[in-house]
């Protein structure tokens, strides 16, 4: 069901986008107003969310240690899996954020011959995740040629590398292919694996379907239904310089693409996509395992009811005396 909700929603959004791009007079709405709203929502939404997270303190240091801690000098500390200082934490976070270290550990469990539990390394999710995120990044960077005039040199390098095989005209970008393949894999995996299907919510399908729609419209624009690139650049540069214009004859597919991207941006801060920011803030990863070395402070550390030794001795004084245990206060001695 959740898949259908998401699919219907993406179809509706696509139809709305198509409608908006076809109808004259709505283009300022779809080309200027909505993108602005979306971008503002995206930026403010993320900032608000991160501030909200940051407002809650980290009372206890609970890093998940995935390797040998720093202890005795002759025992080798695994400083990337159990970091003991800030530099090692940065190293661990780089591995997590840039290389999805934890996901790389993934295994697949199977029960064989009735009772043998076996684990096989499985890297598909990691590979698809890496492929998806990195191609998405490259595609985003490539889009800078629409935002900035003149096109920055690094964008040209990326483009050249990306079109290395020089297949097709205009040249097919490798990243486009990999991006669409990776997103499709992530979607199919959700449907094919009964466990993942069971846990999937509308909020899991929707972004994948939306990304597919965005990717497909982008691909179509480049290779099939050509749009007026000069017009596009005029529009985007206008948007970014806060002097928006709607040039004539850009082509409706562009407005659809832009509308879907706007939807993604506006949806982002309210969704699981916030893992992009959250991964930086996860206390099991971004803290040093130096708990016993350094004093840490819990800002809301309030007092609790205790059972002090005096009360304990008061209750057990007789049996303690009987057992020959030393007493802090002995009323019998005091009487003498």
The interface with another protein within residues 70-89 (CB under 8 A) comprises: 70-72, 74-76, 78, 81-82
Is the bond leading into 150 cis (omega within 30 degrees of zero)?
Answer: yes
Which of 11, 60, 165, 167 binds another protein (CB under 8 A)? It is 60
**Binding of residue 336 to another protein (CB under 8 A):** no
Of 305 and 335, CB closest to another protein: 305
Of 149 and 311, CB closest to another protein: 311
Of 22 and 71, CB closest to another protein: 71
Of 63 and 163, CB closest to another protein: 63
Nearest CA to 235 among 219, 263, 255, 214? 255
Which of 3, 13, 69, 183 binds another protein (CB under 8 A)? It is 69
Which of 37, 39, 95, 103 binds another protein (CB under 8 A)? It is 103
The interface with another protein within residues 168-207 (CB under 8 A) comprises: 193-196, 198-204
The stretch among 32-40, 160-168, 233-241, 283-291 that binds another protein (CB under 8 A) is 283-291
Residues that contact another protein, how many (by CB under 8 A):
97
The stretch among 20-28, 48-56, 145-153, 165-173 that binds another protein (CB under 8 A) is 48-56
d(CA 94, CA 79): 13
Of 123 and 143, CB closest to another protein: 123
Do the beta carbons of residue 119 and residue 107 sit within 8 Å? yes
Rounded least distance, CB 236 to another protein, Å? 30
Contact letters (x/-) for another protein, 123-162, by CB under 8 A? Answer: --x---x---------------------------------
Contact letters (x/-) for another protein, 206-245, by CB under 8 A? Answer: ----------------------------------------
Rounded least distance, CB 17 to another protein, Å? 21
Contacts 24+ apart (CB under 8 A), 10-19: 10/206, 10/209, 10/210, 10/213, 13/210, 13/213, 13/259, 13/260, 13/263, 14/213, 14/256, 14/260, 16/259, 17/255, 17/256, 17/259, 17/260, 18/252, 18/256
Q: SS3 of 208, please?
A: helix
Plot region of 35 (φ>0 → left; ψ -120 to 50 → alpha; else → beta): alpha
Rounded least distance, CB 86 to another protein, Å? 17
Plot region of 201 (φ>0 → left; ψ -120 to 50 → alpha; else → beta): beta
Describe the crossing of helices 124-142 and 174-192 by its angle, rounded to 10 degrees.
140
Of 83 and 244, CB closest to another protein: 83
Token pair 């960077």 is at which residue? Answer: 141
Q: Across the strands, what pairs with 121?
A: 107
Task: Give Cα separations from 328 to 200, 315, 331, 334 (angstroms).
Answer: 62, 13, 10, 11
**Binding of residue 329 to another protein (CB under 8 A):** no
Copy the structure tokens of residue 272.
């699981």
């Amino acid at each position: 069901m959740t898949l259908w909700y998401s699919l219907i929603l993406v179809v509706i959004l696509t139809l709305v986008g198509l409608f908006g791009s076809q109808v004259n007079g709505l283009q300022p709405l779809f080309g200027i107003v909505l993108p602005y709203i979306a971008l503002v929502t995206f930026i403010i939404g993320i900032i608000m969310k991160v501030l909200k997270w940051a407002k809650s303190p980290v009372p206890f240091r609970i890093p998940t240690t995935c390797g040998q801690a720093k202890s005795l000098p002759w025992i080798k500390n695994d400083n990337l899996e159990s970091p003991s200082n800030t530099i090692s934490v940065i190293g661990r976070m780089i591995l997590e954020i840039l290389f999805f270290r934890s996901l790389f550990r993934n295994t697949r469990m199977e029960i064989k011959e009735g009772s043998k539990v076996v684990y096989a390394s499985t890297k598909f999710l990691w590979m698809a995740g890496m492929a998806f995120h990195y191609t998405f990044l490259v595609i985003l960077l490539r889009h800078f040629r629409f935002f900035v005039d003149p096109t920055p040199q690094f964008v040209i390098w990326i483009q050249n590398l990306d079109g290395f095989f020089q297949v097709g005209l205009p040249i097919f970008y490798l990243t486009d292919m990999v991006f669409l393949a990776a997103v499709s894999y992530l979607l199919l995996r959700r449907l094919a694996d009964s466990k993942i299907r069971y846990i999937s919510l509308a909020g899991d399908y929707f972004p994948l379907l939306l990304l597919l729609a965005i990717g497909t419209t982008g691909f179509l624009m480049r290779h099939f239904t050509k749009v007026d690139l000069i017009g596009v650049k005029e529009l985007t540069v206008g948007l970014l310089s806060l002097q928006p214009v709607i040039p004539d004859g850009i082509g409706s597919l562009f407005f659809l693409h832009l509308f879907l991207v706007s939807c993604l941006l506006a949806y982002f801060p309210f969704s699981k996509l916030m893992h992009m920011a959250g991964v930086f803030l996860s206390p099991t990863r971004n803290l040093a395992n130096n708990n016993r070395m350094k004093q840490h402070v819990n800002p809301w550390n309030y007092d609790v009811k205790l059972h002090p030794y005096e009360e304990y001795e008061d209750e057990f004084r007789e049996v303690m005396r009987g057992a020959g245990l030393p007493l802090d206060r002995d009323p019998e001695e005091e009487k003498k």
